[in-house]
Amino acid sequence: MNQSEATDATIHASAVVVGGRGVLIRGPSGSGKSSLALGLIDDSRLEARLLADDRLVLTDGPGGLIGRTPRQLKGLIEVRGIGIVRMANIDEAKIELVVDLLRPEDCIRHPEVGDRNMTLLGHSVARLTLPIGVADGVTRIRVALREWSL
């Protein structure tokens, strides 16, 4: 096993690149990961592109946590009620924000500075929790990217 294989992890998630910054979206099956990714991509103010839908390969890179599109899923996103849709994508990006979709009671309303970060593959990454099904998820992500200087 070479060194890159030892530091790679494939996870069940969606990811987009917003203004050059990778946003990883995690949550249980059916929680709206793909819908939130699609909402970010569709918001013309964000200059967002698809990184990956359903699965993402994470790598411990020298400059930070890197997300890569699995080859078999390149440019594909599931749009519930429509099916699998092809769209332009970016193959790789540094992950700078993790968005966790959780039950409303599990979301911190006023997170302390220490609650806004987590560690993945040895890298500290900003973290935002959103209630599953929240209507303003795209707006909250946009504000987090701006306010946390990501």
Query: What's the pLDDT at 4?
Result: 43
d(C-alpha 141, C-alpha 18), whole Å:
10
Query: What's the pLDDT at 57?
Result: 97
d(C-alpha 77, C-alpha 95), whole Å:
19
Regions in the chain scoring below 50 on pLDDT: 1-5
Query: What's the pLDDT at 44?
Result: 86
Query: What's the pLDDT at 24?
Result: 98
Query: What's the pLDDT at 94?
Result: 97
| Fold of domain 3-147 | Rossmann fold (3.40.50)
Question: What are the residue boundaries of the structural domains of the chain, listed by start?
Answer: 3-147
94-114 residue pLDDT tens: 999 999 999 999 998 888 878
d(C-alpha 128, C-alpha 114), whole Å:
12
